[in-house]
Amino acid sequence: MPSIAKVAVNDATIHFDKLYSYLVPPELEPSVWPGGIVLVPFGQGNRPRMAVVIETEAGDDPDPRLKSLLAAAPEEARLTPDLMELVRFLRDRYFCTWYEAVKAVIPYGAQYQPGVENGRPVVKSRMVRPVETIYTLTGTLPEKPRPGPKQLRAVEALRPGPRSRAELEELGISRTTLDGLCKKGVLTAQTRDRPLDLFGEVPFDPRPLTLSPEQQTACRLLEEDLAAGEPRAALLYGVTGSGKTAVFLRLIEQTLAQGRRALILVPEIGLTPQMIRRLKAMFGSRLAVQHSALSNTERLLQWRMIQQGNADIVVGTRSAVFAPLQNLGLIILDEEQEHTYQSESSPRYSAHDVAKKRAAMENALLLFASATPRTETYQAAVSGRLRLVTLQHRYGGRPLPTVDFIDMRAELAAGNPREVSARMAQALEETMDRGEQSILLLNRRGYRTVGMCQSCGHVLKCPNCSVPLVYHKPQQALFCHHCGHRISPVPTVCPECGGKMVYSGFGTQKVEEELAALLPKARILRMDQDSTGRKNAHEQMLARFARQEYDILLGTQMVAKGLDFEKVTLVGVLGIDSMLFGQGFRSFENVFSLVTQVVGRGGRAELPGRALIQTTVPDHPVLQLAAAQDYPRFYEQEIAFRRFSLYPPYCSFCVVGFSGEREPEVFAAARRFGQLLAERFASHPEQPLRMLGPTPMTIVKLNGRYRYKLTLKCRNDAPFRALLRSTLDAYAEEKLPAKAGVTIDFNSDGD
């Protein structure tokens, strides 16, 4: 009896993401299961396309027009029922296609693509497995003919146990020698997957943790949740330097002792090495890593290690939330307020929600941690939906840094044309003279951030995007920070009127130059996306700063968070004002968090820390509260604003985005979608909805496409999503997707 596979294909759009039925040919019967990756003939031309099997059924009397599957990927590529449950969850929550969800839960390297072998369509793995040859001593060296010194050395080297060819070559034993010995039956050669021990050099050095009384109390409460055997969630709110990591380590230890596994998420790649080192030192090598800076091969091998049950701890960035760890007991989201936990491409998921789903599936404890939690998270904690665990003091009774403002209005009035104020420069110099270090934050990269014509006011913008081009000095070029468009040489006259172009605004490159002029002795390390492009550059730079090869670490927000250097006693903040006047409803929260975090980098060890913030609005309440590092009071103000103006957590916030090549069409499509949606909600008055727009997005043109949005304040439940889905169907029926593609984003802050 033949069977039928219902599959979802790659490269579908959300409007046409149906399940298609295919016959399973008898020779593929043993390798087709739900969750399996297969190749199908698709469309009029029957071009091979990748697909995922959603279900299989008996085909007693199959439709004779059904096509047959072409090939199937090996079983190891199959999505387990757990992963399929996550795929369904993503699709239901975030309006993505089946296959987009599949690509999110299994890393790129694990995926297959259509290929051809001997004229037949096949599935091909996208990655080459790195293998190595291992030699084992399996016989004795014959006395005659007399063995040469090289042969003797090879046999000696292998006496303690098998070794890889690379290791033997390092000892000066050539492949010819080894091959010769294999022929004689003295050695046996085998190929195996090359193990990839990331951070293999970190010594296993477990030391008992001595927790402070506050940390102990926190652990005691959280251990209750961990032992509960049912899904639990908690927020560890601890001031900067309170030692949240020590609490993590203790909880991980407990989790492993219960025979369960732990998943630790950090907001960015830069923070993984620090976490990996601490975990490796304490727990040894059953640790796997998942993040986007790994090569495909590394990523896949780590993934397999997890899938095969050979990792007890996984550390990674957002996508690691899908790591196929079984028997999960603990999930930690460190610095949970970071926006990097929200995906900006389909599926537009939030690691918070996926982690919650996984914790529910596994009866695990989900722990959010931060010194500046998201307003929604803290609200959930104070209202009892999460357990709130607090660390109020820095570890070791160290004081929080003192914070002062430098009023830049006075600097401007005094005619200082620089970005670095005289007081900041002096403080940097004094810190350096004491043999201590400083961190300087400027959240803008490049040299000059805007080019404008002196005569007509024309601003040089990207031809593809509605944003100013940024001048980068090392390349002597203007760059678009969104699409990478490059213009060089740098225009000196206006393309519109021939007037003189003037470049202004400060980026990290310019400030680096100013610092070099102001403090000629200072050793300055600039860290931003441009200086950390090379693999491992980021980690190497931080290691050199830790070794005190530099006095000043200047950089974008990548220097603001999570770093722990004992000699840093001064933190400076430049150019923060523009962030205060940002668009989205989270802009205050973001500034508060960034300033608190960066200020918190100072004075973490013996030496007390201080911070200086340059601003033209020193009395701004958000800056004042961040300076006082008073999160609870900031929260009171912020939650009042959210309630009054109706923002999360008092509603769900959903941005429906539209983009296309012609602006009037995009606008019209967005308006039509709004009408279709309003019609549907009119017959469901019980379903709360406020709709705003269509309005242009903050960046109205990106990569040559115009962008508009509808902003919905709603209740994101199943009935709401059903209405939204039916609106999408109606939109597709009117053939509007041809004019403007739609995206649905529940994580946007409306920027």
Closest to ligand ADP by CB, 282 or 427: 282
Report the partner that residue 122 touches, choosing among ligand ADP, Zn ion, none (CB closer than 5 to 8 A by kind).
none
Burial code (b: 16+ CB inside 10 Å, e: under 16) for 633-651 equals ebbeebbeebeeeebbbeb
Which residues have CB under 8 Å from 583's CB, separation 6+?
Answer: 698, 750, 751
97 contributes a contact to ligand ADP by CB under 6 A: no
Residue 462 binds what, of ligand ADP, Zn ion, none (CB under 5 to 8 Å, by partner type)? Zn ion
**Nearer Cβ to Zn ion (79/480):** 480
Q: Which stretch binds ligand ADP (CB under 6 A): 97-105, 206-214, 438-446, 526-534?
A: 206-214
Residue 15 to residue 97: CA distance in whole angstroms: 9
Least separation in angstroms between CB 562 and ligand ADP: 7
State how far the Cα of 149 lies from the Cα of 147, in Å rounded to an integer. 7
The partner in contact with residue 240, picked from ligand ADP, Zn ion, none with C-beta cut-offs of 5 to 8 angstroms by kind, is: ligand ADP
Tell me the C-alpha distance between 700 and 709, whole Å.
Answer: 10
| Shortest distance (Å) from residue 215 CB to ligand ADP | 6
Using the minimum distance from each CB to ligand ADP, give the nearer residue, 10 or 212. 212
Q: How far is the CB of 482 from Zn ion (least distance, A)?
A: 5
| CA angle, 350 then 578 then 501, to 5° | 120
Regarding 395 and contact with ligand ADP (CB under 6 A), the answer is yes
Taking the complex as a whole, how short is the minimal distance between the CB of residue 433 and ligand ADP, in angstroms? 25
453, 501 in Cβ contact below 8 A?
A: yes
* Contact partner, 564, from ligand ADP, Zn ion, none, Cβ < 5-8 Å per class: ligand ADP
Tell me which of 10, 151, 215, 370 binds ligand ADP, using CB under 6 A.
215
Residue 741 CA from chain centroid, whole number: 25
- Taking CB atoms within 8 Å and a gap of at least 24, the contacts of 639-642 are 639/375, 639/379, 641/588, 642/375, 642/585
Interacting positions 274-303 with Zn ion (CB under 5 A)? none
**DSSP structure class, residue 68:** B
Instruction: Return the SS3 of 24.
Output: strand
**Over the range 80-99, which residues count as b (16 or more CB within 10 Å of their CB) and which as e?**
eebbbebbebbbebbbbbbb
**CB closer to Zn ion out of 339 and 482:** 482
The binder of 209, among Zn ion, ligand ADP, none, by C-beta within 5 to 8 A per type, is ligand ADP
DSSP-derived pairing of the beta strands 3-9 and 47-58: antiparallel
Could you say which of 48, 107, 238, 648 contacts ligand ADP (CB under 6 A)?
238
Tell whether residue 564 is a contact of ligand ADP (CB under 6 A): yes
- Residue 291, Cβ neighbours under 10 Å: how many? 21
Per-residue contact flags (x/-) with Zn ion for residues 457 to 476, judged by CB under 5 A: -----x-xx-----------
User: From ligand ADP, Zn ion, none, which one binds at residue 482 (CB under 5 to 8 Å depending on kind)?
Assistant: Zn ion
Residue 386: phi and psi, rounded to 5, are: -125, 150
Residue 267 interacting with ligand ADP (CB under 6 A): no
- 110-118, 189-197, 243-251, 539-547 -> range binding ligand ADP (CB under 6 A): 243-251
- Which helix (H) or strand (E) segment holds residue 113: the answer is strand 112-117
Beta bridge partners of 613: 405, 573
Site string for Zn ion, 476-515 (x = CB under 5 A): ----x-xx-x------------------------------
CB of 527 to ligand ADP, least distance (A): 19
Instruction: Tell the smallest beta-carbon distance from residue 701 to Zn ion (Å).
Output: 9
CB of 270 to ligand ADP, least distance (A): 14
| Shortest distance, position 241 Cβ to ligand ADP, whole Å | 4
Alpha-carbon distances, residue 629 vs 3, 369, 556, 599, 661 (angstroms): 64, 16, 21, 9, 46
Exposure of 257 by Cβ count < 10 A (0-12 exposed, 13-18 middle, 19+ buried)?
exposed
Paired sense of beta strands 37-42 and 71-72, if any: antiparallel
Amino acid, res. 366:
L
Comparison of 369 and 527: residue with beta carbon closer to ligand ADP: 369
Query: Which listed option, ligand ADP, Zn ion, none, makes contact with residue 604 (CB within 5 to 8 Å by class)?
Result: ligand ADP
- Smallest gap, in angstroms, from Cβ of residue 462 to Zn ion? 3
The single residue among 10, 97, 245, 337 that binds ligand ADP, judged by CB under 6 A, is 245
User: Which x/- pattern over 397-416 shows residues binding ligand ADP (rule: CB under 6 A)?
Assistant: --------------------
Alpha helical stretches, state H, 343-479:
351-362, 375-382, 408-413, 422-433
Buried b (16+ CB within 10 A) or exposed e, 709-736: bbbbbbeeeeebbebbeebbebbbeeeb
Name the minimum Å distance from CB 401 to ligand ADP. Answer: 12
* CB nearer ligand ADP, residue 104 or residue 282: 282
Do residues 407 and 616 make contact, with C-beta atoms less than 8 angstroms apart? yes
Q: Which option in ligand ADP, Zn ion, none does residue 480 bind, with CB closer than 5 to 8 A by kind?
A: Zn ion
Cβ proximity to ligand ADP: between 371 and 467 the closer is 371
The residue type of 736 is L
Q: Does 209 help bind ligand ADP (rule: CB under 6 A)? A: yes
The span from the CA of 94 to the CA of 347, in Å, is 6
Q: Which of 232, 304, 526, 604 binds ligand ADP (CB under 6 A)?
A: 604
Q: What is the DSSP string of 725-747?
A: HHHHHHHHHTTGGGT-EEEEESS
Total of residues contacting ligand ADP (CB under 6 A): 16
Q: Please, are residues 3 and 59 in contact by the beta-carbon 8 Å criterion?
A: yes
- As a whole number of angstroms, the distance between CA 506 and CA 574 comes to 10
User: What angle (nearest 5°) sits at the alpha carbon of residue 358, between those of residues 355 and 361?
Assistant: 155
Q: Which does 465 bind (CB under 5 to 8 A by kind): ligand ADP, Zn ion, none?
A: Zn ion
Question: At its nearest, how many Å lie between ligand ADP and the CB of residue 649?
Answer: 25
Residue 252 binding target from ligand ADP, Zn ion, none, CB below 5 to 8 Å by type = none
* Residue 279 binding target from Zn ion, ligand ADP, none, CB below 5 to 8 Å by type: none
Binder to ligand ADP among 97, 111, 242, 727 (CB under 6 A)?
242
Q: Which two tokens stand for residue 394?
A: 């820095």
Minimum distance from CB of 529 to Zn ion (Å)? 15
Residue from the set 232, 244, 260, 445 that interacts with ligand ADP by CB under 6 A: 244
238 binds, among Zn ion, ligand ADP, none (CB under 5 to 8 A by kind): ligand ADP
Tell me the pairing of strands 568-574 and 610-615: parallel
For the segment 115-134, give every residue that binds ligand ADP (CB under 6 A).
none
Site for ligand ADP, rule CB under 6 A:
209-212, 215, 238, 240-246, 395, 564, 604
Site for Zn ion, rule CB under 5 A:
462, 464-465, 480, 482-483, 485
